[in-house]
């Protein structure tokens, strides 16, 4: 509950900052938003630089799980490891950056696959596929503000908020997994 309150306050602060910045010069506004995005970090996570080879291996492993969804529940621990590694990469990534977007997308894909293990639904698989495609595009250094990739500073705020939201979902998944044992 405490994290939910912090997340809500964070969202409100980000919205207030965004409204305030609309009255300022575009250059200073983007700089300020980038600074806000950089300050939105998950507690308890130690940042590490993105390892593109490991990220590609994670992509391939999750693609393999998508190909045979019946095996996803056997790989929940691997998915937890993937999410933790991606969280670490997101923490160390600059805002905005392809690294940040790829890390958050990988983490969200792992979360959707974990959700599928708890409650098998095609929607989880479709969202996981979408997140993997987004991560793949960002790792290739492609995309714009309107698509996968770092885009503008506001995209960095979105990525940081999605990363915090995914952290909260993972905490809920932990509880759900304990209940279902």
As a whole number, mean pLDDT of residues 91-113 equals 94
Q: Say if residue 38 is exposed, middle or buried (CB neighbours under 10 Å; 0-12, 13-18, 19+).
A: middle
Residue 38 in contact with residue 94, Cβ under 8 Å? yes
> In the predicted model, is pLDDT for residue 145 greater than 50?
no
In the predicted model, is pLDDT for residue 132 greater than 60? yes
Measured between alpha carbons, how far is 19 from 56 in angstroms, rounded to an integer? 38
pLDDT classification of 35: cutoffs 50, 70, 90: low
Residues 32-56 have a mean pLDDT of: 78
User: pTM above the 0.85 mark?
Assistant: no
**CA atoms within a 13 Å half-sphere pointing along the CA-CB vector of 57:** 11
What is the extent of the structural domain holding 41?
A: 2-179
45 pLDDT tier (thresholds 50, 70, 90): confident
- The residue ranking higher by pLDDT, 22 or 77, is 77
Q: What is the mean pLDDT of residues 9-14?
A: 71
pLDDT at 146: 43
Residue 96: is the preceding peptide bond cis (ω within 30°)?
A: yes
Mean pLDDT (whole number) for 124-141: 96
Total domain count for the chain? 1
Q: Where are the alpha helices (DSSP H) in 43-152?
A: 52-67, 76-92, 98-118, 122-139
CB atoms within 10 A of CB 166: 24
The answer on pLDDT for 165 being more than 90 is yes
Of the candidate ranges 83-92, 143-152, 161-170, the one whose mean pLDDT is the lowest: 143-152
Is residue 105 scored above 80 in pLDDT?
Answer: yes
Cα–Cα distance, 88 to 81 (Å, whole number)? 11
In percent, the amount of the chain with pLDDT more than 90 equals 57
- Of residues 158 and 53, more confidently modeled: 53
């Amino acid at each position: 509950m405490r994290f939910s309150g912090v997340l809500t306050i964070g969202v409100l602060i980000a919205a207030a900052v965004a409204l305030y910045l609309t009255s300022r010069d575009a250059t200073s506004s983007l700089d300020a938003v980038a600074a806000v995005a950089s300050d939105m970090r998950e507690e308890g996570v130690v940042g590490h630089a993105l390892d593109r080879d490991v990220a590609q291996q994670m992509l391939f492993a999750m693609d393999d799980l998508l190909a045979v969804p019946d095996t996803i529940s056997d790989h929940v621990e691997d998915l937890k490891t993937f999410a933790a590694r991606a969280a670490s990469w997101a923490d160390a990534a600059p805002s905005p950056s392809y690294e940040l977007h790829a890390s958050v997308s990988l983490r969200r894909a792992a979360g959707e696959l974990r959700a599928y293990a708890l409650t098998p639904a095609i929607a989880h698989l479709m969202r996981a596929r979408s997140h993997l495609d987004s991560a793949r595009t960002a790792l290739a250094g492609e995309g714009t503000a309107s698509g996968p990739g770092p885009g503008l500073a506001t995209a960095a705020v979105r990525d940081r908020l999605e990363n915090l939201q995914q952290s909260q979902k993972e905490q809920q998944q932990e509880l759900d997994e304990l209940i279902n044992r």
